[in-house]
Structure 1
Amino acid sequence: MDQSKWKFNHTMLRVKDPKKSIAFYELIGMTVVQEMPMKEMGFTNYFLAYDGKTSASTGKHWTDREGVLELCHNYGTEDDPNYASHNGNKDPKGFGHTCISVDNIQAACQRIEDAGYRFQKKLTDGRMRSIAFALDPDNYWVEIIGQNSVEETEGVKETDTQSYRMNHSMIRVKNPEKSLKFYQDICGMTLLRTSEQKEAEFTLYFLGYPGDYDINKKTSNGVNPLAGKEGILELTWNYGTEKEEGQVYHNGNDKPQGFGHICLSVDDLDKAMEHFENKKVNFKKRLTDGKMRNVAFILDPDNYWVEIIQNQAIKNTGV
């Protein structure tokens, strides 16, 4: 087992109408790279990723990528007037957002707005003029950040979706020490960046598997050097939550449902299971549980589900 070969593969969201959801994510440049019907269980999973000529993982097997988005459609929700996915930003809170990084942020946001989609925050809203949040058809927040500075792209009218990256997914955590220990010591992630926002009373921790990405590279325009990377996990700690009793955040799988899990693809699934057993993690599902013997789920300190799957490209090549 070599954790340097592990990948933060995907984030799963439940959606009401897959046609509408896929249309939105295709607009922002993503492609369905794998469709997985589970008709006996009453749902289909759609895996989307950036797969253009200049994308980060073009042509790779879906398990051998980072920055994948899994949309889970439970049959019949599209015709249920009472169904709505829980986006995690209304009570009970937990999951926050996904995030894409783009070449020209003004042009990218204008393109989304011109297509008729709403925004939680436009570039011109509030103090932070370098980020925006679009809303997908289920009201999940999609953060938009620039790979170039706002000043550098001012007035640029064109945007190339092939250059976009699925940069990160954000979840709120109760106790950062426990969460960092879990994702670093147990899951093998690296703390890539910390952003303290003391006046606003929260701190952001960005973790991931560096791979061959240069996380220390300098940018002449002051843009976050991680903006070009995929597969980052953002942990948001709101000061004081560590002192609260019991479970503070909603994991998305208890009702009301929305966000489902994040997923790690590993180089050797059986050895990874031994590793987690030795670390005495809490399991939601072991490989031997239920019908699906090729996936497991472990629980992080906030009871978020972390799916564990085999990287099929490594399994098939023996690399």
Structure 2
Amino acid sequence: MFRQSISKQLNNSIKSNTFIRTMASYNPKSLLLNHTCLRVKDPKISVDYYTKNYGLKLIRHEKMPEMKFDLYFLAQDDSKGSQFAKEGVLELTHNYGTENDPNYKINNGNEEPYRGFGHICFSVDNIEAASEKLLNNGVAFKKKLTDGRQKNIAFALDPDGYWVELIEHGSDKVQGVSNTNSYKFNHTMIRVKDPVKSLKFYREVLGMKLLSTSEHESAKFTLYFLGYEHDDSFKENSLSREEQSKRESVLELTHNWGTENDSDFKYHNGNEQPQGYGHIGIALDNPGEFCNGIDSKFGDELTWGLKFNQGKMKNIAFIKDPDNYAIEILPKNYTV
């Protein structure tokens, strides 16, 4: 009954074009899902892991000694221009000294009682060859391609224990070969308590579109995939798995059935202790106008971690979703 209620509410929202009517005046088509931020213990080890195994390039290293942390930005796209004007960026945050602390451990978001963030995902040209290459490189796996019932996905582990999903996009696939230059930073997954509230936030407040839905009745969970799509003719909830695998900067919301009915249930947002996952970041041409617009429209319905231009680091904002996950809002031409 609840699943039917979710589907009905979602379908009504899509059909009524709620976002288009209420948000179009201050939701420019420049919006993109720019980056995902993860804290890491040792940046040298982590940067090497992602560049060697997934074809990412270190496109920017921002040193913040006065705040005692550094930021490392990695992406497939290493063309000139701001790191905030691209999709598919992975931001690794290193707090000084953690690499020398034998007791410091990252929370990967998948262990009780600190579950919340789930994984990041790379879409590859040939998943069999990619998995074999990772194994030969000494990469550990949570789930190998041959494990379990699903033979078309795998989960590797990064140096901090974060889960890294592998799926296949199949473009220019060559038997027995995998080219890391073809890999895409496809999606970031977080778990959500109530999908109705979360979908409303990401669609109506942040302006994302529902790309597809995947329901798993036997395991009692549903996956909702969202992203920015500025083609006016796009039909929500219509992408095939193949079409979606060729994208970057997709957000996956995982709903485990029944959590919405438990008043005491909550997910860990990654920013409370023990820390791990940080945030996703959306970028656009005029974030100040955007923040003012959604604040005016939604008012007290919104929770701000930092209102635009009011912190030590200017020209950014942090808003929180219904599960208290952080979303950074910043200009495409932002300078740290």
TM over 0.5: yes
In 2, the alpha carbon distance for the partners of 1:5 and 1:246 equals 39
- Percent of aligned positions that are identical: 48
Q: CA deviation at 1:311?
A: 1.2
> Is residue 297 of structure 1 aligned with residue 315 of structure 2?
no
> Is residue 284 of structure 1 aligned with residue 302 of structure 2?
no
Q: CA deviation at 1:61?
A: 2.4
Match of 1:142 in 2: 164
> Is residue 70 of structure 1 aligned with residue 70 of structure 2?
no
One of 132, 145, 153 as aligned partner of 2:154: 132
Unaligned runs of 5+ in 1: 53-57, 217-221
2:35 is aligned with what amino acid?
H
In 2, the alpha carbon distance for the partners of 1:124 and 1:213 equals 41
8 Å Cα contact 1:189-1:207 kept in structure 2: yes
Q: CA deviation at 1:295?
A: 1.4
1:228-267 equivalences under 5 Å are 228-246=246-264, 248-267=266-285
8 Å Cα contact 1:215-1:225 kept in structure 2: no
In 2, the alpha carbon distance for the partners of 1:79 and 1:100 equals 30
In 1, the alpha carbon distance for the partners of 2:85 and 2:231 equals 14
1:253 is aligned with what amino acid?
N
Taking a change above 3 Å as real, the CA distance of residues 247 and 308 of structure 1, as seen in their structure-2 partners, is: farther
SS at structure 2 position matched to 1:23: helix
Match of 2:27 in 1: 2
Q: CA deviation at 1:224?
A: 2.4
Q: CA deviation at 1:205?
A: 0.2
SS at structure 1 position matched to 2:253: strand
8 Å Cα contact 1:202-1:238 kept in structure 2: yes
Q: CA deviation at 1:208?
A: 0.2
In 2, the alpha carbon distance for the partners of 1:223 and 1:9 equals 22
8 Å Cα contact 2:288-2:315 kept in structure 1: no
Q: CA deviation at 1:2?
A: 3.5
Q: CA deviation at 1:4?
A: 2.5
1:168-247 equivalences under 5 Å are 168-211=187-230, 224-246=242-264
One of 47, 56, 63 as aligned partner of 1:30: 56
Taking a change above 3 Å as real, the CA distance of residues 230 and 31 of structure 1, as seen in their structure-2 partners, is: same
Q: CA deviation at 1:3?
A: 3.6
Match of 2:120 in 1: 98
Match of 2:65 in 1: 39
Match of 2:175 in 1: 156
Q: CA deviation at 1:304?
A: 0.2
Match of 2:75 in 1: 49
SS at structure 2 position matched to 1:312: coil
Q: TM-score, normalised by structure 2?
A: 0.85
Q: CA deviation at 1:211?
A: 4.2
> Is residue 166 of structure 1 aligned with residue 185 of structure 2?
yes
In 2, the alpha carbon distance for the partners of 1:143 and 1:253 equals 22
SS at structure 2 position matched to 1:250: coil
SS at structure 1 position matched to 2:315: coil
Unaligned runs of 5+ in 2: 1-25
Q: CA deviation at 1:223?
A: 5.1
Q: TM-score, normalised by structure 1?
A: 0.89
